[in-house]
Copies of this chain bind each other. A is one copy, B any other.
């Protein structure tokens, strides 16, 4: 693709030779001739002098070095970079068709243009929407619904009656609709399993990471709202709601019945207790442990979670706690000395 065409498609202003051909998108350190790359962070502007890239996506106002690469100027270089990848990288989705080694129930409804890979299983009464791809080894349970234009990677479990919207991407090994962890303690101390047969709904445009698990509840539903993105090895317990556009990074765990509202970001390994409400736009930094509901718009950290600002300050004191303790001990010594002295000082000697 020429830079002229690329600039048009990405809505960028071009500073450089419009005829140059770009064939690959890559990181600025590895870029060579024919490569497009990007700089979103001003601290990397120095790379413009040295990169061998054909063109670089930058924000307005960045000067183009003499003999430097062509510049594609736009407000959001990272977003344009993502779009450029979509234009230049060949997605390698399999051709439509039902592999003869797959096992599709006679009464399953399979849309047009669907690809069902080798050894995939589609259960009785399940529905697979148009143009959706099931990779090898996927198991779709009886009565489950997968929408249109989904990509379900190898060896995913979509359990019975789970409902998945359109344009949903699920990475390998994820499990959607496993039994929630629900038991009632009996008088002899043993645990009676509470049957977990209620609903799981994955709305449109959700992405679910590799080996992530999303449980179904006993009653009510587990719901991942439209446009939420969930990374690998995340645990979403029974009855949880994940809001629109919310991001859950890898190894996050959300306990039962908690509601995560829209536009929340939980960084890696964050844990959220059950029956809470995490307000719209909350951001929790990595490993935060959240035992209580959180007001919208809060930035939190720590275990247990507190406002990030407080946590940073407290953590700074924490690392010097032994010194602080010594200062207290020293104060006690000096104060005792003073008290001793003052005891000798005549309290009633009026001036």
Contact = CB atoms under 8 A, between A and B. Distances in A.
Nearest to A86: B195
Contacts of A341: 342, 345, 347
Interface in A122-140: 135-137, 139
A253 interface: yes
A153 interface: yes
A339 B349 contact: no
Given A175-B173, A325-B317, A325-B324, A339 B342 contact: no
A154 to B, nearest CB: 4
Contacts of A141: 154
Contact of A195 (B76, B85, B211): B85
Nearest to A237: B250
Given A154-B139, A191-B229, A251-B253, A175 B268 contact: no
Chain A facing B: main interface SS: loop
For chain A, give the interface size range. Answer: 35 or more
A255 B345 CA distance: 63
A184 B273 contact: no
Contact of A103 (B29, B136, B315, B320): B136
B135 A137 contact: no
A120 to B, nearest CB: 9
Contacts of A250: 181, 213, 235, 237, 253, 255
A9 interface: no
A160 to B, nearest CB: 6
B139 A139 contact: no
Contacts of A322: 310, 313-314, 316-317
Contacts of A155: 137, 139, 155, 157, 173
Interface of A: 25-27, 29-30, 37, 76, 78-79, 81-83, 85-86, 89-92, 99, 101, 103, 117-119, 121, 135-137, 139, 141-142, 153-155, 157, 159-160, 169, 171-173, 175, 178-179, 181-186, 189-195, 197, 205, 207, 209-211, 213, 215, 218-220, 227, 229, 231-233, 235, 237, 245, 247, 249-251, 253, 255, 263, 268-269, 271, 273, 286-287, 289, 291, 302-304, 306, 310-311, 313-322, 324-325, 327-328, 331-332, 334-335, 338-339, 341-342, 344-351
12 contacts: A29-B220, A79-B184, A82-B192, A181-B229, A190-B205, A190-B245, A191-B245, A235-B268, A321-B321, A341-B347, A344-B350, A345-B345
Given A153-B178, A286-B289, 7 more contacts: A79-B185, A85-B219, A181-B209, A304-B315, A328-B328, A331-B332, A345-B347
